[in-house]
Structure 1
Amino acid sequence: MTICPVQKVTLFGLSSEKRQVLENLQELGIVHVSDINNPNRVPERPGLGDLDSYKAFKYLMSAPSRRRQITSQAGFDAQGVVEDTLQVQDRIAELTQSRDHLIEKIRQLEPWGDFSFPTLEDMGGNHLWFYTVPRSRLQALSSLSSPWEIVRVEGDAHYVVVVAPEEPSGIPVPRTHTGAVPLSVLRQQLDHCEMEVDELEAQRIVLTHWCSLLARHLATAEDMANIGQAISCSFDDQVLMGVQGWVRKDHAEKVEAFARRHGLVCVLADPDLSDHPPTLLSNPDRFGGGEEVVKFYSMPGYRTVDPSLAIFFLFSLFFAIITSDAGYAVVLGFLLMGFWGKLSQSHSGRRLARLGLMIVGMCFMWGVLAGSYFGFKPPAGSFPARFAVIDVSDTGFMMKLSILIGVLHLLLANAMAAWSHRGSLAAVVPVSWMALIAGGAMAGFGTMGDIPSIVTPGYVLAGVGGLGVFLFSAPEMLPPRRPMDVLRIILAGLLGLTKITSAFGDALSYLRLFALGLAGSSLAMTFNQLAMNAADSLPGIGLIIAFVTLVAGHGLNIVLSIMGGVVHGLRLNVLEFFNWCITEEGYPFRAFAKKEIATWTP
């Protein structure tokens, strides 16, 4: 829930020991290495190196079954394993394409039967022409002068063969191309193709013996690439060498102990205003799903705030409002249970699984408050009906609620921005925006809700906020020292006030919560009504139609709800919210550490 404080660390030692120092530092695994020659340049991550090896490793890891791992390096030829694996992969891809082509060709040829074309001499110079003619067009064949015959009938399709030296005219359908290879030969080719695929899949499974060693090989190669990049970021004058980076403040003692052990000079310093430190987010795993969302979109700057906790709860809330159905929440819960094992295989996956659990819980609670269970309302006086206090179809109420949620969301964003600038005049602007947005909301809600007592205070509060934005949009020029500074303050203030339209638009954009929730609820009720109409009007078969309508309709609505919840829930958090909350974009803290590539435990 915080951005970890870091310190700048600089290590000096003998140039002749540079590589050994970097290898030991990589073993320590707690320092983010920066470019000592250009401290504010963000070093690019080194490439994956041998892409073929990664491709082969990924292919073996996705094998349907796996063999016991070989741990001894004796007899391990990494290049040979990679080449064999890629050859197997390419050949399987080629054979799979051929198999699909053969299956389609056999499907097209089966209605005509298994036959071989006679020679042209045996046919007296005639050819066989094949057509698939619907019943409604058979009459057109009566005008043909050439002999023809119907060899098969399947439903409305009539399979017709015409004997003629040239392609006959007057047939109302295009010719069917059967090819010259008999059906029996195509089936033999398909059998051989599938047998070879099976043999190659078996070879692939045998190659999985080497996955652990191949992973170790890849990790070593990536470690070497990282050391090479660290060398390029270091200082070296042929006598002394220096390497610089960032370390968590609570890990500084470990770096000092490392320097003492290896005879290095260690200099630690807090970042100053000219520094651009990396951002290291720190959140407990139970709320870490919000951090994963933040890192996926944009890393906040070091001197800003961590919005992960807010994202964790508010994304779940927005998703719930868009879904607005307790029954759908139960379905989402079962889907989450189905993917829980796969998500639990990685640290990020476990965090996202907990976020999913929060979403399911929030969806269920909101659905109960909305009184919607697969689009059905609980009977009046029933136990579930006691909790149904929100009417999603009440347009006026839901619009006001959505805008109120948006206003509170923007107020929270500006409060977090003010906190990140605490102790400086720059904090006045987000506080002023809070006053302006809150005042505007008071005036608006007072007018719409016939509460005149809050309209005037709302205008006053908005005016004070606007004045604060105008006066403090250029805090670095306060107090003004020259007449030109006054002009710049005025221009910056006018420019800052142009964000009023953005604030108004951002608050109104939360109406999408109401619109999507109402659309989903209306669709659910519509599918229920269609199903009941089918069951009532068509006895017997109507029950089947009703069941299909319910399953297909609610299935589609759940998919649309998930898409809407993800897309618009993220949009409101990472666009509207981040626009006001995150005042500086940063880059992630990446520890210079040994690479580990996970395989599996046989």
Structure 2
Amino acid sequence: MSVARLKKLSLVGRAANKGDTLGALQTLGCMHVLPLAPPPAEPERINERGARNAYKALRFLKESSETRRQVRRDSGFDMDQFVGEVLDLMQRIRDMTDHRDFLAHRIAQVRPWGDLDFPPSDVLAGNRLWFYQLPLKHREALVELQLPWAILQEDHRFLYAVLIAPEDPEDDILPVPRTHTGSLPIHELEAQLEEAEIAIEALEAERIGQTRFLTLMRRNLAAAESAAELAHATQKVRDEGKVFALQGWVPSDQVETVLDMANSQNAAVLIEDPGPNEMPPTLLEQPENRSAAVDLALFYQVPGYREWDPSIIVSVSFAIFFAMIVADAGYGLVILLGLLAFWKRLDNTPAKRSWRLYGLIISGATVLYGILVGSYFGASPASGTIWGKLKLLDLNNFDSMMMISIVVGVLHLILANALAARASWGRRSSVANLGWIAVLIGGFILWLSYMKGGPTAPGAAIMIAGALAILLFTSERKIAKPSDWLWRLIEGVQGLAGAMGAFGDVLSYMRLFALGLASASLAITFNDLAVSVMQSLKGLGLLFGVLILIAGHILNFALAMMSGVVHGLRLNYIEFFKWGLPDEGIVFRPFARKEVQE
């Protein structure tokens, strides 16, 4: 994978052929269009409210539990009317669901007092019933009341009392507020609840029936978005009397295709290489089965056009960091089983298949690292077994694990600087990147020598050589007058100020060891707690021990997943990108027709 090389293509054609030329160019879908005309005062755009409603309706139908056979002939299909019907159905389902939830809550509120048939007001001589849920400790407050009252139910916590009064009693008549139970008995509320459930089932059946038009919805949405994209591109075209001009970036391997299209439209074309001061958009070329790596790399930052493609490095290093943070073969197996459970659902598109493959890589790396550290849901294998012999690392050996984390950090930052030097080769900054590599290597040798009591001169010498390279070659300033030498030196000193940042960035990789140790320690703690409960309690001890194991490992697994994702990406996006991809680019957005996703 690499950053695609682009050509600037300027096209001039007759105004009469403008629509056909733009339509043909949109069909090719390979040009990032540049604006040659000033933006209009009132730019054309797709009806945002209509598009938003259409996507809301589409998402509502896609989330249906079932899907009917699709209608593919669009004769008589009115998109706007259908979207209105779907949104109306969605609102009716929402209202009925709210009514159902209200009834269920009201039944739960009223049930402690029993299934009461409320008498008419004239039977109670104008009095009404007022209900209170009173804690047992406030029983004396009832005795002191001047109003008639009765206790209808009682449990180990509350008294369920009713007061008789013509008006709503004062708020402070009892230590608790009144419970609003309504005027309907439980059997009527339950009847209404049953009717609401039946109504929701009928509405859901109507929703399932509407799913037969999903394909037509997608087709209409694709056409509307393609029309909007065409209108947006038209605004960027420059019109000069009987001719028009269009300009954009095209991948080098697509230039011949655009030339053939231009010849068919009798248009003139000028092809140019990017200028030294131009910043073309960035297009990462990759096979479809590696799109997950590109998504991962572009999530935080788009590399500049003259930078390098970080996709493979980021995807590999993230898998390693994730495995080191989770640090358990059992948890890796859980990830693998979860992936296999959704295997068929991740087979719809090339992008999903790519993420499925990357999930296998991550789970495999986690299982492999868990075997190396000998952790299986927090349990360690016996030393005489084959799994015990495969245990090569000890998480409790702080010195060795700290060393591994620092080595990983140093190598990661060296790789970042090496790739940055390669991308900028021929410029002064590439020598500065090599200087940072020397500083990192020298600093590591110096630290290692100090820890082992060996000579520190070699590491110090390498660091000094690297610092001189940074001082002299950080600045790209050209020498036009004697004072420029001073400014170049000042900018070199500013570059050297990043030494403390480099030291801090290397130490950031200590989180790999710390989080891995925390995950393993929590797993061991839950295991020990479960065993202690099983041994101390007879009978129910086994049940409680199993519950502790399940709940504890679910909690630890969730924390490990969150830590692995957040910190695994952070080390790539913050530390690695800081040294390897200092410049941010622009995403290549092809002028293309919207494809219908079946």
State the TM-score, normalized to the length of structure 1.
Answer: 0.93
Report the residue type matching 2:97 in the other structure.
T
For residue 18 of structure 1, what is the aligned residue in structure 2? 18
| CA distance in 2 between partners of 1:537 and 1:194 (Å) | 47
Report the residue type matching 1:74 in the other structure.
S
For residue 590 of structure 2, what is the aligned residue in structure 1? 591
For residue 349 of structure 1, what is the aligned residue in structure 2? 352
Per-residue displacement from partner, 1:295-335 (whole Å, max 9, x unpaired)? 21111111001111111111000001101111111111112
Match for 1:361 among 364, 369, 374? 364
- Alpha-carbon spacing, 1:225–1:45, altered in 2? closer, same or farther (3 Å): closer
For residue 71 of structure 2, what is the aligned residue in structure 1? 70
| CA distance in 2 between partners of 1:57 and 1:522 (Å) | 46
| CA distance in 1 between partners of 2:148 and 2:476 (Å) | 95
For residue 571 of structure 1, what is the aligned residue in structure 2? 570
Match for 2:431 among 428, 447, 452? 428
For residue 117 of structure 1, what is the aligned residue in structure 2? 118
* 1:562 Cα deviation after fit: 0.3
For residue 79 of structure 1, what is the aligned residue in structure 2? 80
For residue 5 of structure 2, what is the aligned residue in structure 1? 5
Match for 1:222 among 222, 225, 230? 225
| CA distance in 2 between partners of 1:244 and 1:102 (Å) | 63
* Corresponding position: 1:469 with 2:474: no
Q: Say whether the 8 Å CA contact 1:46–1:229 is kept in structure 2.
A: no
For residue 213 of structure 2, what is the aligned residue in structure 1? 210
* Corresponding position: 1:441 with 2:444: yes
Match for 2:194 among 177, 191, 210? 191
For residue 343 of structure 2, what is the aligned residue in structure 1? 340
| CA distance in 1 between partners of 2:105 and 2:332 (Å) | 42
- Alpha-carbon spacing, 1:539–1:97, altered in 2? closer, same or farther (3 Å): same
Q: Indicate the percent of aligned positions where both proteins have the same amino acid.
A: 40
For residue 183 of structure 2, what is the aligned residue in structure 1? 180
For residue 579 of structure 2, what is the aligned residue in structure 1? 580
* 1:165 Cα deviation after fit: 4.8
* 1:524 Cα deviation after fit: 0.8
| CA distance in 2 between partners of 1:368 and 1:459 (Å) | 38
For residue 235 of structure 1, what is the aligned residue in structure 2? 238
| CA distance in 1 between partners of 2:98 and 2:259 (Å) | 60
Q: Say whether the 8 Å CA contact 2:136–2:158 is kept in structure 1.
A: yes
Q: Say whether the 8 Å CA contact 1:292–1:352 is kept in structure 2.
A: no
* 1:164 Cα deviation after fit: 4.1
* 1:135 Cα deviation after fit: 4.1
Q: Say whether the 8 Å CA contact 1:369–1:390 is kept in structure 2.
A: yes
- Alpha-carbon spacing, 1:282–1:7, altered in 2? closer, same or farther (3 Å): same
Q: Say whether the 8 Å CA contact 1:292–1:351 is kept in structure 2.
A: no
For residue 332 of structure 2, what is the aligned residue in structure 1? 329
* 1:425 Cα deviation after fit: 2.0
Q: CA RMSD in A?
A: 2.3
* 1:125 Cα deviation after fit: 4.3
For residue 88 of structure 1, what is the aligned residue in structure 2? 89
Aligned pairs for 1:123-142 within 5 A = 123-142=124-143
* 1:140 Cα deviation after fit: 4.6
SS in 1 for 2:196: helix
* 1:87 Cα deviation after fit: 0.9
For residue 268 of structure 2, what is the aligned residue in structure 1? 265
Per-residue displacement from partner, 1:127-146 (whole Å, max 9, x unpaired)? 32322234444355344454
Aligned pairs for 1:427-576 within 5 A = 427-450=430-453, 452-453=454-455, 455-477=456-478, 480-576=479-575
| CA distance in 2 between partners of 1:265 and 1:417 (Å) | 39
Q: Which of 304-313 and 27-36 deviates more?
A: 27-36
SS in 1 for 2:343: helix
* 1:426 Cα deviation after fit: 2.3
* 1:467 Cα deviation after fit: 0.9
| CA distance in 1 between partners of 2:165 and 2:78 (Å) | 63
**Gaps in structure 2 of 5+ consecutive residues:** none
* Corresponding position: 1:396 with 2:399: yes
For residue 410 of structure 1, what is the aligned residue in structure 2? 413
| CA distance in 1 between partners of 2:46 and 2:132 (Å) | 60
Q: Say whether the 8 Å CA contact 1:288–1:308 is kept in structure 2.
A: no
SS in 2 for 1:159: strand
| CA distance in 1 between partners of 2:47 and 2:325 (Å) | 41
| CA distance in 2 between partners of 1:577 and 1:268 (Å) | 36
Aligned pairs for 1:366-385 within 5 A = 366-385=369-388
Report the residue type matching 1:32 in the other structure.
H
Q: Which of 66-75 and 82-91 deviates more?
A: 66-75
| CA distance in 1 between partners of 2:68 and 2:339 (Å) | 30
Q: Which of 107-116 and 514-523 deviates more?
A: 107-116
Q: Say whether the 8 Å CA contact 1:375–1:528 is kept in structure 2.
A: yes
SS in 2 for 1:50: helix
Report the residue type matching 1:98 in the other structure.
H
